[in-house]
Structure 1
Amino acid sequence: MERRSFLRGTVVGGSAAAFGFTLMPGAAYAAPAQPGPSPYGALGSADANGIRLPSGFRSRVVARSGQRVAGTSYTWHPAPDGGACFPSGSGWIYVSNSEVNPGGGAGAVRFNSSGAITGAYRILSGTRQNCAGGATPWNTWLSCEEVDRGYVYETDPYGVDGASRRSAMGRFKHEAAAADPQREVVYLTEDVSDGCFYRFVPDTWGDLSSGTLQVLVAGSGTSGSFRWQNVPDPGAGSTATRHQVSGAKHFNGGEGCHYAAGVVWFTTKGDNRVWRLNLAASTYELAYDDSLVSGTAPLRGVDNITGASSGDLFVAEDGGNMEICVITPDEVVAPFLRVDGQSRSEICGPAFSPDGTRLYFSSQRGTSGSSSGGITYEVTGPFRR
């Protein structure tokens, strides 16, 4: 990635709250979240797009797999998955992965200040099963291959610079990434039933071409202290990265990952949990566990995760009843939206526009249940900030 891309990103680096990278001061998150009333109110009836939303919110379809994005020549990719938003002049860009193999890659949609689509294009091609990823403070998109010994690719949302494979970030079944500008590291999840949680320490912050891959080492419980230890062979030449360090903590299907103000959250789909790492204290604990809630668990099929500047977390479901649920700083978990009539799909790629008023996400397989039927949506309304 050219140096000018890094400089372009530093202009907005201090205003990362627009992307939900900061946490409202005083937010506690001191115990596993429990069901309660949503701060946005109850869900209404399904709208014309089959989406149930709280009062004051509305949805629109941004793109459909196999069809040209409105007003552009770009055909939207199959199986849209992880995504993120980036500033672009007075507008913004939404980036989306394609979780197919072979093919994969990622595409982008550009919006102007009023939310109108002004362009769409490919930013990564020729990769495999690009699932989730993460944005960097210098405004690049890390697209992760969810295949055995997969790679991370650093891409340019603006469509100017070519993509670069970041081999030093390890070869494993990558899922999501979250950048921590305070410690100058990138956290990584691994989507296997005995996966690990990693961090990549670049030799130079802003340049991911070289550095050290480390794995989280901790006990077998759901809370306690942790430390980091170097992975001897990030390229996994003979032994999988998750099996190289004695004492590495294993997690049941790592999925989404989100960093905010000294805390990193990540999800595990195999046990429907959201984990919280207090980085200053080097401790970990559960932020949500569907087996520990009182009554019916509102959040199941725990998958992608993002955050708002209010401190609210938004967690998408792969399965469940096709919801995006909110977890508040007061440890309340409740549905924010539900997609009807798409039970063979999954919700993925939640990301906020820079001003925090629009939420983008995809239904990976739409109403058809096939990767060719993906639908990408936008929801607008009075989000808490």
Structure 2
Amino acid sequence: MATLTIGGSNRRSFLRRGAPAGGGLFALAAVEGLAARAAFAKDGHKDRVSPDNGGYGELRELTRTDPESGFSQTLWLPEDFDFKVFSVAGSVMRDGNRTPLAHDGMACFPTGRRGEWRLVRNHEERSNPGAGAPAGTPERRYDALGAGGTTTLKVHWADGEPHFDEAWQSLSGTIVNCAGGPTPWGSWLSCEETTAGTRAGWGADHGYVFEVASAAEGEVDPVPLKAMGRFVHEAVAVDPRSGVVYETEDQNTAGFYRFLPNVPGDLAEGGQLQMLKIADAWNYDTRTGQRSGRILYVEWVDVEEADPVEAEEDPLAVFNQGWALGAAVFGRLEGCFYGDGAVYVASTSGGDEGEGQLWEYRPRGGKGGTLKLVFESPDAELLSYPDNITVSPAGNLVLCEDTGRDLPALRGLTREGEIFPLARHEGATEWCGAAFSPDGRVLFANLQGAARGDLGDPALEPGRTIAIWGPWGKGVL
């Protein structure tokens, strides 16, 4: 496999290659199984979970220490699994910068060398203007007062375990970089979950998507992709067949968007932002009163001004344009991923119980498609606030719960719709950015930690990246 780059042949050829390996077979079975599981729950079978924790057995307590920072982490994992903690917030990186706060969304990319991968990781830094610890070089910083951005990590597999090699700043001067998504041409789209700007004391306007090449050896030029919209961004998913980018909005009143690039694979060339509308239904509200499996026919309405000047004062300035044309409303759209010819979207607070929904959008030609509710959580014990979602090597799902409960979990989800805890930790900081290595041997994920404050403050809980590995084949993942 050739080394991934962000230019030339990879951009031009991704449409011919189709969907990335490992992303297409899970969707139909997994989400239909989840819908069936919901039916059992509504019949009073709320206590059903995957037998023997998905085949992995009971969780056991393990403690490991990052040799670089001295930070110790305790996790509960299945028997014969192990983990490492590394790249802790505040630790010095290869370029002399300190690892920023608030580890969040992330993806794992091959490099062309066997057993070597790169992680591109967001930082949801929420310090006030100039109050954080801005990283990167001044000439590459998007906003001199912003302390967020992305870092890139180099890791490799040797002697039966993963090893962390080095990290560096790859995007600087942005803020509240929460989620995003990988592209088929080998880059990471990092999204700002805010529309704050110069009126709030920042040196630049925020609320944009930025592209980071996984192959970049240092900081990329911070180019805001303004045609993709200025709103409270969360995640993105790219349809590898068409190059269309789907975008979610993390607000209680949220829209679901798509971006039609003028040049597929080259998002900086501009395009048209659109918002989902239910055909023959004006301002359809998906948040309550929905029925799993019902097919809703979709059309898309154009957003006339993707970068409205009023967005800083009104974070719904983009949403309101689609709403005026009859677009639909969702509740806190977060995780977003492509598989089996469809886009799957997690509504974190949707549903009659407010515990979350999972929607499937299936394109039908260029003008529309169908929307279907495939799961709505009837009870917090079954699933609470689904956020980041990733696909396992065997085609099942791993969910990051965005919940404030103690002992938050990474949860496995089987094709039969049964849920089980895969990993737990003590405390309330959320799991984020789950991503398997391309060969399926390692599950990488982040524990977010504090999102604002002084990197040198020992009272702050630091963000950190976790690598989990073990006998995946003994269970369903």
TM, length-normalised to structure 1: 0.88
1:140-196 CA-to-partner distances (Å, cap 9, x unmatched) read 110000002600000122224534321111110001111111232111110111011
CA contact (8 A) 1:98 1:104 kept: yes
Q: Which residue of 1 aligns with 2:415?
A: 329
Which of 398, 402, 409 pairs up with 1:314?
A: 398
For residue 171 of structure 1, what is the aligned residue in structure 2? 230
CA drift of 1:272 comes to 2.9
Query: Structure 2 vs 1, CA of residues 112 and 158 (structure 1 numbering), >3 Å: closer, same or farther?
Result: same
Q: What is the rounded CA distance, in whole Å, between the counterparts of 2:236 and 2:348 in structure 1?
A: 16
* Letter matched to residue 104 of structure 2: D
Shift of 1:134: 0.4
Q: Which residue of 2 aligns with 1:378?
A: 467
Matching residue within 284, 298, 304 for 2:371: 284
CA contact (8 A) 1:266 1:305 kept: no
The question of 1:229 aligning with 2:298 is answered no
Deviates more, 1:137-146 or 1:316-325: 316-325
| CA distance in structure 1 between the partners assigned to 2:96 and 2:15 by the alignment | 31
Partners of 1:280 and 1:15 in 2: CA distance: 15
Moved more, 266-275 or 186-195: 266-275
Per-residue Cα deviation, 1:266-312 (whole angstroms, up to 9, x for no partner): 2222233232224146332333333x25xx62322322111124321
Partner of 1:22: 24
Match of 2:49 among 36, 45, 59: 36
Q: Go from structure 1 to structure 2 and tell me whether the alpha carbon gap of 1:257 and 1:2 turns closer, same or farther (over 3 Å shift).
A: closer
Instruction: Return the alpha-carbon distance in structure 2 between the equivalents of residues 25 and 191 of structure 1.
Output: 23
Change (3 A) 1:370 1:308: farther
Among residues 349, 362, 379, which one is paired with 2:446 in the alignment? 362
Which SS does the other structure have where 2:10 is aligned? helix
Matched, 1:150 2:229: no
The corresponding residue for 1:242 is 319
Corresponding position of 2:108:
85
* Aligned 8 A contact 2:106 2:179 in 1: yes
Once residues 371 and 285 of structure 1 are traced to their aligned partners in structure 2, the CA distance between those partners, rounded to angstroms, is: 42
My pick for the range that moved more, 43-52 or 356-365, is 43-52
Change (3 A) 1:25 1:269: closer
Instruction: Indicate how the Cα distance of structure 1 residues 235 and 8 shifts in structure 2: closer, same or farther if over 3 A, else same.
Output: closer
Aligned partners of 2:170 and 2:212 also within 8 Å: yes
Could you say what the CA RMSD is over the residues aligned between the two structures, in angstroms? Answer: 2.8
Cα 1:212–1:276 change in 2 (3 A) is same
For normalisation by structure 2, the TM-score amounts to: 0.72
Alpha-carbon distance change, 117 to 73 in structure 1, aligned in 2, over 3 angstroms? farther
Among residues 106, 109, 121, which one is paired with 1:96 in the alignment? 121
Q: Does 1:124 align with 2:124?
A: no
Aligned pairs for 1:164-203 (under 5 A) are 164-203=223-262
Do the aligned residues in 2 keep the contact of 1:267 with 1:275 (CA within 8 Å)? yes
SS in 1 for 2:383: coil
User: 1:12 and 1:74 mapped to 2: Cα distance?
Assistant: 39
**Which structure: larger Rg?**
2
AA aligned opposite 1:208? L
Gaps of 5+ in 1: none
Task: Quote the offset at 1:382 in angstroms.
Answer: 3.1
CA change 1:357–1:316 in 2 (3 A) is same
User: SS in structure 1 opposite 2:319?
Assistant: helix
Q: Secondary structure at the match of 2:210?
A: strand
The residue number in structure 2 matching 1:251 is 330
Mapped contact 2:30–2:396 kept (Cα < 8 A): no
Q: What amino acid is the match of 1:229?
A: V
Alignment pair present for 1:269 and 2:348: yes
Counterpart secondary structure, 2:60: coil
User: What's the counterpart of residue 220 of structure 1?
Assistant: 285
Consecutive unaligned residues of structure 2, counting only runs of 5 or more, are 39-47, 64-72, 127-145, 196-205, 279-283, 311-315, 451-456
Distance 2:458 2:36 in 1: 33
| Structure number having the greater helix percentage | 2
